[in-house]
Structure formats: C-alpha cells, structure tokens
Structure 1
Amino acid sequence: MALRISKKYIHPPVSFLNNHFQFLEISEKITRSKIQSLLDEAYESRINNLSRSIGLAEEALSLSKESADKSFIGKSLSHLSLFHMIIGDFDLSINMANEAIENFEDLDDAKGIADAKYTIAGALYKTNDFSKGLTHLIDCLATYKKLEDYHNLARVQKSIGTIYEFFGDIKSATQSYEEAIDSGKKAGDLNLQSNAFNPLSGLYLNQNKIPKALAIIEESIVIKEKTEDIRGLAFALYGRGKVYTQTKQFEQAEQDFLQSIKIHEEMGEKLGWAMSHHKLGALYIKMNRLEEAREILVRALEYSNKNKIILIKFKANLLLHEIAKKEKNYELALKYLTQYVEEKESVINDRTAKVIEGYDVISKMQALELEANAQREKADIIEKKKIELDSFFYRISHDLKGPITSLMSLNYVAKLEVKDEAALKFLSEYDAQANRLNNILDGLLRLTKMSFNEDSKQEIDFEKIIYDCIASYKFLANYELVEFKINIDSKIVYEAEWALVNTIIQNLIENGIKYARIEDGNKPYISISINQEGDVIKITATDNGIGMDEKTIDNIFVMFFRANRKIEGTGLGLHILKRAIERLNGEISAKSKLGEGTTFTVVLPK
C-alpha cells in the first residue's frame, strides 16, 4: 500500500515560515548582541587584564566567523590587533589589522579602517618607523575629526605627540599632548586625559620645570587609581620615578620603578617593561649600586634585542659602558661603547631619514589643513553674503509689494472711469508692466522665504502634490493642449519640507506648459516619473516642447535669465527650483535639444 503524504506537509504554512524567519532574525540579533558585549568587555579589560581582553576578542572572532558577519569579523580582528600591539607582538598585530582593513573596505566603514590603521601606526612607531606610523595617524586624525570621535582623537593626538617628541620637536609634542587632553575632556574620559599627562610630565621635567612635572604626574596617578587603569598606572609610576630621580629622592624613585616593572610584567607590556628597567638601571648607577644596575641593564638589553625595542638597546649599552668605566674595566667599557656607537649611528641615521620623511608628511598635512581652512572661510563668506543678499531682496520685495498693489488698484479704478480708447490702451500697457513687476516681487519673496523659513518635515504625497499643481495652472495659455503622463512609485516613503517639494514640482510643470511646442501638428506632453533608487528619490520631467540650444541650457538656473523673450516670464522660476533642490541637499541636471524638448532630472537624498 502506497504511503500518501498530505500536501499541507509538503509546503509549510505561511505562518510557520514567518515564525521560522522571525526566529532566525531574533537568533541573529542575539548573536550580534553577544559579540558586541564580548568586544566591549574586551576593550574595557585592556586597562587591567590584557590576557582576558585577548580571550574575549578571540571568542568574538569565532562567533563572527560562524555567522559570516564581516563587520564583526573586522571589529574582532581590530581589537585583537590592538591588544597584541600593546603587549609588543608587532608582526601579528599588523597582520591582524591589515586583515581587519580588508573587511572594513568591503563595507566602506571609514571608522573601522581608521581604528585598524591606528593600531598599525602604534606598531610602526614603537619599532622606530616614525614616518610610516605618522602617515597612518594623519589618516586616522582626518577620519576621527570628521566623525567628531573625541575618544579616538585623543588617542591619535597623544601618539602624534610621541612621534614629535622622538623628532625632538618639543613645542609640537606639547601642543599635541594638550590637544589630546582637550579631546579626552570632550569625550568625558579621565583615562584619556591622564594618558597624555604622563609624557607631558616628562617634557616638563626635561625643561627643568620640576614642580609642574610632579603636579601633573601625581594627578595622573590619582586618576589611574580611581579608574583602576592598572596598565596606565604603571606608566604614571614610571613618570613619577623619573621626577624623583631628578630630585634625588632615590628610595621613592626605586619603589615607583619596581612597582611599574611588576605591573608591566603581569600585564605583558613589553615596551613599558624595558623602559622601566632602563630607568631603574640609571637610578642604581646614581646610587652607586653598580652590580644591581648591571644585572638590570643586561636583562633590559637582552629583552630589547629579542623584542626589537631599538631605542632601549643603545641606551642600555651606554649605561653599561658607564658602569664598566666606573669599575675601570676599560676593555668591557670599550666593547659597550662600540656597540652603543654602532647602534646609535644606525638608529640616528635611520631616524634622521625618517624625521625628514615625517616632516614631509607633516608639511603636506599642514598645507592641506591651511587649504581646508581657507576653503571653509571662503564658504563662510559666500554664505554670509548670500544671507545678506537674501535679506536685502526680502526687505526690498516686501517694501515694494504694498506700493505696487496700490498702483494696480488705482489703475483698475482709472480704467473704470476713462472712456478714451487711446488712454485705455496706455493703461492696459501700464497694467501689464505692473503685473510683470508684481510677479517678479512674488518670485523674489518665494526665493528669500526658502532661506529664512524652517518648515517642519512631513511625509510627502507626491501624487497629491503633482495633481494639485497641474490643476493650479489651468489659466496658462497652453494648458488645455498638454497631455500629462504621470508615473509614481507607490512604495516611496519620503519625508521633507512640503513647501520645498511643492516648489520643485510646481516649477517643473509650469516650465513644461509655458514652453510647449504647438506648431507642426505636435501633440505636446509632459511626462513626470518619480522613483526610489537606493537611498535617493529620482524625479524626471520630460517634455516635447520648444527645447534649448547648448548656450541657453548653461544659463537656465541663473537668476533673471530668460531663455525665450517671446514667452512671458520673470527669469526666476528655474533659479527658485534649483535653490529649493539645494535646500534638500539634492542635485538637478538638464538635457535639451532645440525643437525637440527638454528633460530635467532631480535627485533628492532620503
């Protein structure tokens, strides 16, 4: 006996499918929410538990790959890249950042690209490649400024300050650190502010501004303890240790350096570990604890060789040379001095070249900044002049409107009283010119009201606007002869200022009717189509009217320009049309052929 299967089980009911898709959608949202939570927690943990940060980001990456979500794959890689850069795994960090950039480029995610470039920059300048690091940082700076992302601006400005300091440009470094502090305040993040306090204290110390250096580093320590930023605290203690060393408070300095080393070791922070060892070695030389100094510095030298921390390498050799000389071991002193000179020459020559490259980048950046400022100032001046001109037109038009209306009324009364045909002819001519002047004033008032009135946005019913506008032009000469072809996408959802959209449609229709071609048996028409294409609304108005030549079409949007003197008009219609479109951040283009017709295309962003 054959088994019969009911059809209702072959095709699941619509309700079942809907529930299934809703379940999938909810499941995806839960997954995305979990990934975001993992990444947020990983970023927060970086200040006191980098191992945890890496573990959480790796979990987020695994979930992102399972769901094939490019955005979260990029974010997870970017976070991992940052954490590996912090602990000094520079090659791995750069590879992960580049992979993240590939994902972000596919999504056209400018912030994501900037986040990954920031990490690459950190890896580059920490291994002495200042110019390439600076190039990436300048790209990041432009993106974060545009996005008004003060959190990341503070990070970038602090890093740029570090590079300036390597260049020996103390003035620019100080300015960058101060800008980072200001951005940190705007972001409402105490840690971002205190991150810049640490190097700024060092600059003050080098200038022998000891009270200032101590005050700012003490403030940083208070903030780091308050926010539980353990990594940041290690750098702040290192900074205070340097101040104590200079003020000969050697015991306090030793405590700070030892605590800094302990934290860096726990956190896996390689650069900070090497820096603290170098300064502790220098302190022990000052305290004449030469054996301890040598042990510390040899350890720092081996560590720096292993982890490519170039600046600490030659500095450690110089201090080891000083110890050997104090112990009168001149052969060993010469060995360390030779290594110091060779490495320093290599670093300084390379550094000099990179400083030159770096300042070439900086000069280009400054030139672009100056050009951008000049363009902004020029745009501001033009905008102010435009507002002044609109204000002038509005006042003049408004003031003239009353007298013109009075003159037209008097003319009407005069025509009732005058019987002489010659006089009536002159009065009719007078009436025509008064009407023309009145129409110009109406146009100017409509134009200037667009600049001063802020109409609230509402959902636009294109069909109603079009048919209302068509009905309002029944008085025009060619109206009865024109066929209107309307095609509107019923699915369009668009919100804007109603008056501006009405102005656009009104002028397109009026223009088509006025310039209709009625000779040679031509059947005039105006075709209007409105469709949504991606994120824009496209309005196309085509007619088979008298058309225009190339010279004419170049000037049609100019105020008071009239394409055809035989047809009555003020020369304001298309100018008003263009201004309304600009107010909606849209664009208009026109194509025309003399004797064949014209097509206007309006594109409005949603």
Structure 2
Amino acid sequence: MEISETTTHTKIITLLDEAYESRINDLKRSIELAEEALTLSKETSDKSCIGKSLSHLSLFHMIIGDFDLSINMANEAIENFEELKDEKGIADAKYTIAGALYKTDDYSRGLNNLIDCLSTYKKLGDYHNLARVQKSMGTIYEYMGDIKSATQTYEEAIESGKKAGDLNLQSNAYNPLSGIYLNQGNISRALEVIEQSRAIKEQTGDVRGLAFALYGRGKVYTLTDKFDEAEQDFLESIKIHEEMGEKLGWAMSHHKLGALYIRMGRLDDARETLIKALEYSNKNKIILIKFKANLLLHEIAKKEGDFELALKYLAQYVDEKESVINERTAKVIESYDVISKMQALELEANSQREKADIIEKKKLELDSFFYRISHDLKGPITSLMSLNYVAKLEVKDENALKFIGEYETQANRLNNILDGLLRLTKMSFNEDFKQEIDFEKIVYDCIASYKFLTNYELVEFKIDVDQKIKYEAEWALVNTIIQNLIENGIKYARIEEGNKPFISVSVQRIDNKIEITASDNGVGMDEETVDKIFVMFFRANRKIEGTGLGLHILKRAVERLEGDVSVKSKLGEGTNFKISLPA
C-alpha cells in the first residue's frame, strides 16, 4: 500500500472510530462521519474500509429505525467481508440485521443472526460485542415471555460488559432488568438497578442511553404514584429521543406518558399523547406500540362515556393484537426451534471439548511412555552397537562376519527408530525459543547432511527461497519439516533409464502464509498409500530402508506450528508436498 493510500486508510479508520463513539450522543454526526468514510473508501477501492463504513452506517440507521435501509447496507457490507474472509466484520453486520429484525417482531431470523454472532465473538474473545449480542438476545426472550432466560441472558451481558471494561454495556442491560423486577413487584430492586444505569449514563455522557434509563425510572415512579417525577422523566426521555432520531424510544416513551396521564386523570393530555404515538407507530411500523396505544385510547373513550369510539378503538386493538399474537406465536415457535438447535450445538461442543481433553491427556501419557522407553533402551542399544564394532575387529571368519553384518543392520534400524521416537516426544515436552528462520540456510544444510544416502549423487536439487521472508518459529520444528521432505525425496528417487531424478524445494510468502513445497519425479504413491503416510510406523515401500516415523514426525511439527500439510502423488510419476504455516 502506497504512503498516500496508507494515510487515507488511517483517516477512514479514525472517522469510523469517531462515528462509533458519537452514536451515544449525536447520531446525526455519526452518520455524517460514516458517510464521509464510505466515500473515501470507495475512492481508494479499499474493500475492508468499504465494508466497515457500510456496517457502521447500517448500525446507525438501525438505531434510528430506518430498518430496510439498515438491512440493505448490512448485506452489502457482508458481501465485502465474505470476499475478505473477515469473520468479525460479518458478525458485526449480522448483529445489526438481527436488531432490525427483532425490532419488527421477526424473532426467529433475528435469533439466527445473533447466534451466528455469538459463536464468532466467543471464538474471538470479543467481550464488547458479546455483551451487545447477549443484551439483544435477552430482549428477544423477554418479548417471547421467557422471563427466566431473559434475566439470565441480561446478567451474562453485564458480566461480559465488565470483562470488556465498558460501563455503558453493563448499564444497557440494567435498563431491561429493572423492567423485569418492576413487573415481578420488586419495586425497590427495580429502582436501585435503574438508578445505577442512569448514574452510569450521566457519568459516561451516553445521552441516548440516558433517555432509556429515564424512561425506565419513569415507569417505576408511575407505579409508586410519583406522578410529577414520572412525567418529568418521560418528557426528558422524549426530548432526547427526538434530538437523537430514535424512533422506537420516542414511541415507547409516548405510550408510557399516555398511560401516566390516564392514572393522573388528565384524559385530554393522555388522548393527545397516545394519538401522537399511534400515528407515529403507523408511519414507522412500530407494531407493538400500535395496539397498546389503541387499548389505552379505548380506556379513555370508555371513561368519557363515548362507547361508540371506545368500541372502535377496542376493535382496532383486538384486530391488531390478534394479528400480532398469531404472527408472534408462530415466530416464538420458530425461535424456540432455533434456541433448541443452539443448545444442542453447545452440548455437542462441550462433549467434543471433553473428548479432546481426554484424547490430549492420553496422547501426553503415550508420549511420556515413548520417551521413557526410548530413553531407557538407548543405553543398551548403544552398548550393543559398540560390542558389534569390537566383534568386527576381532572376528575373521567370513560366515561369522556375515551374521555380524545382519546383526549390525538390525541394531542400526532399532537405533534409528529410538532416535525418531525421542525426536517425536521431545516436540511435546520441549519448547524452544522462537528465532528468526533462515530458510535458505536450513534447506542447503539439510541437503548437505544427506550426502551419505545411496541416490544423493544422482539427484538434481532445484531451490527457490524468497530471502525477504521474515518468520520467527522454533528452529528445530522447521528444520525437522525440511529435513524429512528432502530425505524422502532422495530415498524415493526413481532411478531408471530416461528419468533424471530431481527434488524441487520452494519457500515463499503468499498473503499471510509461509508456503513450503517439495516436489519430485520419484516413485510416487497410489491414493491408498497417500492416505496412510502420516500414520506412525507406516512404510510405503518395504524395499527402501526407513523407520516409518519421518512423515509422522513432520506432521506433528507442522501441527505444533499451527500449519497444514497436503500431499499429491501419482504412482510412477512423483510426489508433491505442500506445507502452509501462519506467518
């Protein structure tokens, strides 16, 4: 990336960070900053920044209730993130889509998106976004009438907020928790929690969040007959929501203010407030407030003796509520299907983790056993080899020397197996310090170390190493990988008329990976053999000397470096190994 592009990229990220921070007190400003970031991103064709700008804009439009626009922008952002394989970017956009969906009563699709987000954020250890997702999931549970799950999920959101060190995330969950306590008749606890939230919002300057905290406190004051305080809280909440462009919050506050005025006997004020809420909800498709406002307007008309108008509002309430309840019931069923699948996946994940722990424990026990046995046998084998050397010097009989030679061959093979097992188990118990790897030196040193092999002089080596690569790792692991690749290539060279044996070794940086490839035109393998070559002690060709440990050790080394290894081979034509290590 050129200097000017780097500067622009930095500016875009700064704009988006400022836009995100501004959302708590100036959504209009947030949108302006994100739109500026999007324009700059498109000018530089920076897909990552285009995706992030669209994702931010989508979030801000979701907050103010522009749901269709929000979903369209989020889907466009996802297209960019999928191309870049940006998991977090995809999750951020899906979170916004979920918000737009559940706020229009589409719980099941909202939950599906939130569950996807939850999985990604847990994997990334992103507690900031985990808290946001958990709070939204709590809201869906509450809408569905599952108060136990809602309470538990709000409490999880608070814990995630604490881990993220973000007071606002904690207080966002305090607001709905206060409402649950209030509905359960625990008024003192409801007031305590909502006051906690309000204090945090004032401390952090979260103006938009303060409006919801005041709304929550207004509900507590209403039930405790503190009418003046409740009215003041609702009016202040409405004022903030109007300034911030928060449609849902504005409608909710008007509905509760109308209910307060009915309790106070101020029916004219109640009617005017609720008609505003009804018209606004019709215009902005806020279904929940629509039928609730109609019910309260029915109550006002009945109190005033206007039974015809009361029946009209009641009929509208019944029609809308029946429609909403029927649709909601279907969506609740869908949502619980989603939840049951999520719980099944979590149980399966826990089961897999337990199995993995058991396997890892057994693997360590096996490694420890191999290490002890190999180490204990090493001494006697060395002694036997020394005695064999002495016997060759002393014995002159040709038949006896022939048997001694066979003995020596088997002793050497056993010694090589023990060396392999020791190298294998040391990988589990030793952790060398990382150091900068000189791939070219390792490749040439490994080639030189195999001059004693039978086919060495016949093989042509083709080396292509990018000397600009900067890579730090445990030297012994990298050396083990390259050493085994070269040894295999030499041992399994195809020596026949018309074939010039070669081994081609390449080390290149491709994107964020180090790719090591080793190709040859050797004897090759069939598909059945390729599937077994990494199995401990498996030998593809019994005619060629070996222990069957080399490729197993190679695979373990690659795994220790968190990489992948793949093999392509054709019998009679050659083999290609490709190792990919995270840079």
SS across alignment from 2:451 = coil
State the match for 1:7 in structure 2.
none
**1:219: Cα distance to partner?**
0.8
> 261, 286, 299: which one pairs with 1:309?
286
Matched, 1:387 2:364: yes
Q: Label 1:387 to 1:492 Cα distance change in 2 as closer, same or farther (>3 A).
A: farther
Aligned equivalents of 1:143, 1:89: Cα separation in 2? 26
Aligned equivalents of 1:597, 1:39: Cα separation in 2? 53
State the match for 1:20 in structure 2.
none
Q: Label 1:331 to 1:552 Cα distance change in 2 as closer, same or farther (>3 A).
A: closer
* Structure 1: gaps spanning 5 or more residues: 1-23
Report matched runs for 1:322-341 at 5 Å. 322-341=299-318
State the match for 2:62 in structure 1.
85
Aligned equivalents of 1:454, 1:296: Cα separation in 2? 70
**1:544: Cα distance to partner?**
4.7
State the match for 2:296 in structure 1.
319
Report matched runs for 1:43-192 at 5 Å. 43-192=20-169
State the match for 1:15 in structure 2.
none
Report matched runs for 1:205-216 at 5 Å. 205-216=182-193
**1:524: Cα distance to partner?**
6.0
> 379, 388, 396: which one pairs with 1:402?
379
Q: Label 1:438 to 1:131 Cα distance change in 2 as closer, same or farther (>3 A).
A: same
State the match for 2:179 in structure 1.
202
Report matched runs for 1:241-320 at 5 Å. 241-320=218-297
SS across alignment from 1:556 = coil
Deviation track 1:19-65 (CA, whole Å, cap 9, x = no partner) reads xxxxx944333333333222222221211122222232233333334
SS across alignment from 2:25 = coil
* Residues 64, 247 of structure 2: 8 Å contact kept: yes
Deviates more, 1:377-386 or 1:415-424: 415-424
State the match for 1:588 in structure 2.
566
State the match for 2:326 in structure 1.
349
Deviation track 1:342-363 (CA, whole Å, cap 9, x = no partner) reads 1110111111111122222222
* Residues 524, 545 of structure 1: 8 Å contact kept: no
* Residues 504, 519 of structure 2: 8 Å contact kept: yes
* Residues 74, 101 of structure 1: 8 Å contact kept: yes
Aligned equivalents of 1:270, 1:600: Cα separation in 2? 59
* Residues 213, 243 of structure 1: 8 Å contact kept: yes
Aligned equivalents of 1:544, 1:89: Cα separation in 2? 63
- TM-score w.r.t. length of structure 2: 0.92
> 479, 485, 489: which one pairs with 2:465?
489
Aligned equivalents of 1:91, 1:462: Cα separation in 2? 54
Aligned equivalents of 2:517, 2:49: Cα separation in 1? 40
Aligned equivalents of 1:112, 1:463: Cα separation in 2? 38
Counterpart amino acid of residue 481 in structure 2: I
State the match for 1:228 in structure 2.
205
> 519, 526, 545: which one pairs with 2:502?
526
**1:194: Cα distance to partner?**
0.3
Aligned equivalents of 2:332, 2:482: Cα separation in 1? 59
* Residues 592, 599 of structure 1: 8 Å contact kept: no
| Identity score, percent | 79
* Residues 581, 588 of structure 1: 8 Å contact kept: no
Counterpart amino acid of residue 157 in structure 1: Q
Aligned equivalents of 1:40, 1:488: Cα separation in 2? 43
**1:602: Cα distance to partner?**
3.5
Counterpart amino acid of residue 567 in structure 2: S
**1:376: Cα distance to partner?**
3.0
Deviation track 1:69-107 (CA, whole Å, cap 9, x = no partner) reads 333333333222222222222233333333333443444
State the match for 2:426 in structure 1.
449
Deviates more, 1:221-230 or 1:119-128: 119-128
Alignment coverage as a number of residue pairs: 580
Report matched runs for 1:357-396 at 5 Å. 357-396=334-373
Deviation track 1:382-429 (CA, whole Å, cap 9, x = no partner) reads 222222211221122112222322343344456656677766665554
Aligned equivalents of 1:67, 1:125: Cα separation in 2? 35
Aligned equivalents of 2:486, 2:314: Cα separation in 1? 87
Aligned equivalents of 1:293, 1:395: Cα separation in 2? 84
Aligned equivalents of 2:521, 2:12: Cα separation in 1? 58
Q: Label 1:490 to 1:102 Cα distance change in 2 as closer, same or farther (>3 A).
A: closer
Aligned equivalents of 1:548, 1:29: Cα separation in 2? 49
Deviates more, 1:179-188 or 1:543-552: 543-552
Counterpart amino acid of residue 279 in structure 1: K
**1:587: Cα distance to partner?**
0.7
Deviation track 1:306-332 (CA, whole Å, cap 9, x = no partner) reads 221111111111112222222232222
Aligned equivalents of 2:535, 2:336: Cα separation in 1? 46
Q: Label 1:379 to 1:526 Cα distance change in 2 as closer, same or farther (>3 A).
A: farther
**1:537: Cα distance to partner?**
4.0
* Residues 81, 96 of structure 1: 8 Å contact kept: yes
Q: Label 1:452 to 1:214 Cα distance change in 2 as closer, same or farther (>3 A).
A: same
Counterpart amino acid of residue 486 in structure 1: K
> 207, 217, 221: which one pairs with 2:194?
217
**1:145: Cα distance to partner?**
2.4
SS across alignment from 2:503 = strand
Deviates more, 1:362-371 or 1:421-430: 421-430
* Residues 553, 592 of structure 1: 8 Å contact kept: no
* Structure 2: gaps spanning 5 or more residues: none
Report matched runs for 1:566-577 at 5 Å. 566-577=543-554
SS across alignment from 1:602 = strand
Aligned equivalents of 2:244, 2:39: Cα separation in 1? 24
Aligned Cα root-mean-square deviation (Å): 2.6
* Residues 533, 552 of structure 2: 8 Å contact kept: yes
Counterpart amino acid of residue 591 in structure 1: S
* Residues 440, 572 of structure 1: 8 Å contact kept: yes
- TM-score w.r.t. length of structure 1: 0.88
